[in-house]
């Protein structure tokens, strides 16, 4: 079974500052890793994903994430945030074996202050 | 068309009512999913349909009844719900073999309130 831990439930930052949202995962098999964003009253939108290959993954809206197998982490970063980045961010893990399901972390609420 | 459309966007129902949630996609995806999301919580998987057949039921109570009449449509029939079933219900779709790798496409959800 897989599990995901998002280490921060809330992250407040000032506009144009850098941000890192932390995600650790646990799995006994190889996994795929994802970051989703959820704006208020919306569904989830895929930001980026790691399947294999380069450990630095670039996504939409200027976000990137780095897969670290030894630390079982997949932290999300953005060098300069905007007010429009205010949202809930979910890290998720999927297994290459077995059922086609994603397991989500508890979410991190990113709040951008002017 | 790269969207998953869910209707209605909001639904208020009594505990004795019967209602249905509808989800539609025209991306040619052959896997469709229902997720339930409580406030300030992550989405939780309820059901997975693959090639119009139910492949995963995450021990969901029988008052929730899914239906996949064709490859583009997914319904969730609701009956005798409880107030604690109030939540955002999200539909998603993907290709069956690449769903986990490709990521899902989510709809905007139906906000359900049970009174």
Could you report the per-residue pLDDT of A4-60, keeping only the tens digit for each?
999 999 999 999 999 999 999 998 777 889 999 999 888 899 999 998 888 999 999
Q: Report residue A98 as tokens.
A: 């077995």
> For residue B40, what pLDDT is reported?
87
Identity of the residue in A34, A43, A51 whose CB atom sits nearest the CB atom of B107: A43
Q: Is B95 on the interface with A (CB under 8 A)?
A: no
- Coil, strand or helix at B72: coil
B35-63 residue pLDDT tens:
999 998 999 999 999 999 999 999 999 99
Share of chain A above pLDDT 90, in %: 70
- Chain A interface includes B41 (CB < 8 A): yes
- Give A101 to chain B, closest Cα distance, Å: 7
CB contact under 8 A, A51 and B4: no
- Cβ atoms within 10 A of the Cβ of B18, count? 12
Q: How far apart are CA B43 and CA B30, in angstroms?
A: 21
B2 vs A: CB within 8 A: no
Q: What pLDDT band is residue B2 in, cutting at 50, 70 and 90?
A: low
Out of A34, A94, A104, closest to residue B43 by CB: A104
Dist. CA B21–CA A94, nearest whole Å? 26
Tell me which DSSP letter residue A99 carries. Answer: S
């Amino acid at each position: 079974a897989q599990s995901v831990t998002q280490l921060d439930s809330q992250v407040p930052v000032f506009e144009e500052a850098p941000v890192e949202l932390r995600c650790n995962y646990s799995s006994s098999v190889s996994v795929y890793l994802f970051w989703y964003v959820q704006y208020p009253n919306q569904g989830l939108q895929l930001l980026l994903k790691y399947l294999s290959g380069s450990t630095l993954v670039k996504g939409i809206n200027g976000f990137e994430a780095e897969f670290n197998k030894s630390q079982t982490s997949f932290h999300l970063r953005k060098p300069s945030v905007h007010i429009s980045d205010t949202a809930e961010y979910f890290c998720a893990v999927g297994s290459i074996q077995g059922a086609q399901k994603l397991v989500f972390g508890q979410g991190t609420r990113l709040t951008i202050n002017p | 068309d790269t969207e998953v459309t869910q209707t209605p966007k909001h639904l208020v129902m009594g505990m004795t009512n019967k209602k249905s949630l509808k989800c539609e996609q025209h991306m040619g995806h052959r896997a469709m999913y229902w997720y339930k999301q409580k406030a300030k919580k992550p989405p939780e998987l309820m059901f997975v349909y693959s090639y119009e057949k139910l492949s995963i039921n995450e021990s969901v109570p029988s008052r929730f009844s899914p239906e996949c009449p064709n490859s583009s449509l997914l319904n969730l029939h609701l009956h005798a719900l409880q107030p604690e079933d109030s939540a955002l219900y999200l539909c998603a779709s993907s290709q069956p073999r690449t769903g986990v790798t490709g990521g899902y496409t989510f709809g905007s959800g139906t906000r359900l309130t049970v009174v």
